[in-house]
Amino acid sequence: MKKQLGSARLIIIIAALLSLVAGVVGYQVLFAEKRMEIIRTFDQPRSIAAFEGKTHNGEQFSESDFLGQWTIVFFGFTTCPDVCPTALSNINGMMKNVEQEYLKDTQVIMVSVDPERDTLEKLAKYVPAFNPDFVGVNAGLKETQKLTKSIGVSFFKVPGHDDPDNYLVEHTARWFVIDPLGRRYAYISPDQTPKHKDLIKTVSEDYNILRDKAGDIHAAGQ
């Protein structure tokens, strides 16, 4: 009889311990800090330098248009053969998976690194084709250089073999996140997506995490 009672108590103790362990593990999984896989924040957010340009709608666009909302900025050009259309398609896919509360205060801007050829008319046909809410910006060469230097982007012409006017533009392919205070806040390197991960799904989840973490900071006006 005593053996049976001892065995029963042992079973109860083991069951209780297993329940405790399961509870602790479940709590850690449920409340563990979520980590971003692709998006990386800058150690020190940096204000964007003053610049002036125009949107594909002919409206003025400057550093002040970054204030009060989040912005995803991509630098590209309308005759880009592969990187740019792929990036804009992926950003469009990302935006479809961003939480609604974050979607409503996020704008997407493509700044042309080929301002000589990318007229406002060309940008108006090109950029909104990926998403009607996306905005193309032409700031001219000098103003674009101010902006790219401020954010940390490089670009340069690669002349054609036979026709110097038939050139390509090499440029930084990262996407950048500007916060509502007009600061370079984070960057996205699509080519660093883990092989077993889907880029659009992963960057969407990362952006939601980024906004979750940054919410209190900007609510406090810091």
Fold of 39-219: Glutaredoxin (3.40.30)
pLDDT band for 215, please (50, 70, 90 cuts).
Answer: confident
- Using only C-alpha atoms, the chain has a radius of gyration, in whole angstroms, of 24
pLDDT (0 to 100) of residue 193: 86
Tens of pLDDT, residue by residue over 35-86, are 899 999 999 999 999 999 999 999 999 999 999 999 999 999 999 999 999 9
Angstrom distance (rounded) from CA 70 to CA 105: 6
CB-facing half-sphere around the CA of 174: CA atoms within 13 A: 20
In the predicted model, what is the mean pLDDT of residues 3-11?
58
Q: Report angle CA 195, 185, 112 to the nearest 5 degrees.
A: 80
